[in-house]
Amino acid sequence: MLKQVAEGILIHESEFIQSNSVVVQGRDGVLLIDPGITGDEMATIATDLRELGQPVVAGFSTHPDWDHVLWHPNFGDAPRYGTARCAASIRDLLSNADWEDRIAVGLPPEYAEEIPMNSLGLITGLATEAAQIPWHGPTIRIIEHRAHAPGHAALLIEERGVLVAGDMLSDILMPFLDLEAANPIEDYLAALRLFESVADEIDAVIPGHGSVGGAEQLRARIEQDRAYVRDLRDGVVPDDPRVGPSAPLDWLPDVHRWQRQRLAQKEQSRTPE
């Protein structure tokens, strides 16, 4: 069921890690951001939009992770955009004959049979360094970075003061770094500075997973995420409830330990013998 979070902006929260599909109403229809997760959930979104008389006129994927590049036939054939780097990354994955097997490794087993793969990742890359989404609706500024994945983009819906953050600024997930990047710590801190630079323009933040937050929560989440990343960098045990004994998901402490180990390995590989 769609829930309004600001004028002309609605979300659908999935059962899977509180994943947020975002709907932005425009002049001729809606922009659909990161729809998911199961086929039934996406069909419900399509039904809700049809009842509102709002066709899908464009889609956008904030980054190339499988749960952000999904689609459903009931959304129609609207163009689906992403940054040039996002599109290139998912296109590279799909060029492998065994791409479905590669994705299957990361699918949650309780939902794996319900996640449609047939239209996954069919993303049109926007021009490199594109500043806005091309559509007839509110101006949506693209804030590209590489904190979590190649070509990751947050979207600032300027007239509404809403930041669609992708897989960042979550109240339930700590930062997941792009550990394939050359400088994952620096990339993440740089992205947080980008968010901080536009914080005065934002009244609400919609994370890819978790609860919608207001302006004060946005700043608090930036600070919490910055502290976590710095603790990873410095080898300090983080004072972060998302990875502690009362973590909202029992596997998050394991992910935290894995990130710490991978970063230590990267650092060791850089140290001359």
- To the nearest 10°, the Cα dihedral for 15, 118, 165, 7? -80
By C-alpha distance, which of 179, 177, 160, 159 is closest to 168?
A: 177
Percentage of the chain beyond pLDDT 70 is 99
Q: Which of 75, 95, 91, 154 is nearest to 123 (CA)?
A: 91
- Cβ pair 18, 8 in contact under 8 A: no
Confidence (pTM): 0.94
238: pLDDT strictly greater than 60: yes
DSSP state of 233: H
| CA–CA gap between residue 133 and residue 140 (Å, rounded) | 6
Residue 271 confidence (pLDDT) above 80: no
In contact, 115 and 38? CB cutoff 8 Å? yes
Position 118 scores a pLDDT of: 87
pLDDT in tens, 48-78: 999 999 999 999 999 999 999 999 999 999 9
Residues 6+ apart with CB under 8 A from 140: 24, 31, 132, 133, 155, 156, 157, 158
Residue 255 has pLDDT above 60, yes or no: yes
Predicted pLDDT of residue 273: 54
What is the pLDDT, as a whole number, of residue 4? 96
Residue 181 has pLDDT above 60, yes or no: yes
Overall average pLDDT of the 134-140 stretch: 96
Beta strands in the chain (DSSP E): 3-6, 9-13, 20-25, 30-33, 56-60, 80-82, 124-125, 140-145, 152-157, 162-166, 204-207, 213-214
What's domain 3-270's superfamily in CATH? Ribonuclease Z/Hydroxyacylglutathione hydrolase-like (3.60.15.10)
Map out the domains of the chain as residue ranges: 3-270
Residue 64 in contact with residue 149, Cβ under 8 Å?
yes
DSSP class of residue 82 equals: E
Mean pLDDT (the chain) is 94
Q: What pLDDT sits at residue 106?
A: 86
Radius of gyration for the alpha carbons in the chain, expressed in angstroms and rounded: 18
Cα dihedral 122→126→129→135 (10° resolution): -120
What does the pLDDT read at residue 267?
Answer: 80
- DSSP labels for 107-121? S-TTTGGGS--TTTT
Structure confidence at residue 129 as a pLDDT band (50, 70, 90)? confident
Write down the pLDDT at residue 1. 84
User: Which band of pLDDT confidence, cut at 50, 70 and 90, is reported for residue 272?
Assistant: low
Q: What is the DSSP string of 4-32?
A: EEETTEEEEE-SSTTBEEEEEE-SSSEEE
pLDDT of 206 reads 98
pLDDT in tens, 25-41: 999 999 999 999 999 99
Q: Are 148 and 86 in contact (CB under 8 A)?
A: no
